[in-house]
């Protein structure tokens, strides 16, 4: 499956219209861009370029790696310690349930703290969301952000 440049251009147009106040906003405005996992490197490059274009057009924009935030959250929870790995083997189901809850909460907390005080004229590009699967789904993050 090739990269869908037209669909990505539509995303960019919607972002620009939103931050300029030309699109109706009900709650937290967001757009989800799905793509074939085999296109991950192209997607990362396209979002990096989008970030640069938005800033060139005067849009306050930031790009955040959800993969990095996941690592930071796991580290803060102590999940990357060797002692955790040893105990995890006997409690996999419980650990999985805890990770589903704590990872989502940790990432949303970091996002809301980072973007506190910003309005819809600010654009946050959240990349590497697939790295959170199977513990956190994008829909869960969006629900927590809205709530």
pLDDT digits (tens, 9 = 90+) for 89-123: 777 777 778 888 889 999 999 999 999 999 888 99
User: Which residue has 């192209």 as its token pair?
Assistant: 42
Collect all residues with Cβ–Cβ distance below 8 Å to 25 and sequence separation of at least 6.
Answer: 18, 120
Beta bridge partners of 60: 122
Beta bridge partners of 126: 64
Pull the structure tokens for residue 94. 């419980």
Strands 60-65 and 122-127: parallel
Q: What is the pTM of this model?
A: 0.82
The tens digit of pLDDT for each residue in 18-53 reads 998 888 776 678 899 999 989 999 999 999 999 999
User: Domain segments of the chain: what residues?
Assistant: 5-146
CA distance 20 to 146: 21
Q: Choose between 45 and 79: higher pLDDT.
A: 45
CA distance 127 to 125: 6
The tens digit of pLDDT for each residue in 122-132 reads 999 999 988 88
For residue 124, give the H/E element and its range: strand 122-127
């Amino acid at each position: 499956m090739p990269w869908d440049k037209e669909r990505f251009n539509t995303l960019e147009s919607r972002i620009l219209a939103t931050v300029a106040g030309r699109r109706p906003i009900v709650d937290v405005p967001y757009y989800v861009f799905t793509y074939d996992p085999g296109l991950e490197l192209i997607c990362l490059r396209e979002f990096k370029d989008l970030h640069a274009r938005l800033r060139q057009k005067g849009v306050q924009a930031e790009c955040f790696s959800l993969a990095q935030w996941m690592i930071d959250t796991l580290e803060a929870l102590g999940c990357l310690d060797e002692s955790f790995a040893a105990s995890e083997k006997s409690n996999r189901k419980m650990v999985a349930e805890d990770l589903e809850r704590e990872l989502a909460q940790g990432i949303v907390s970091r996002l809301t703290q980072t973007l506190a005080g910003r309005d819809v004229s600010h654009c946050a590009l959240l990349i590497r969301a697939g790295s959170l699967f199977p513990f956190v789904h994008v829909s869960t993050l969006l629900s927590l952000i809205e709530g």
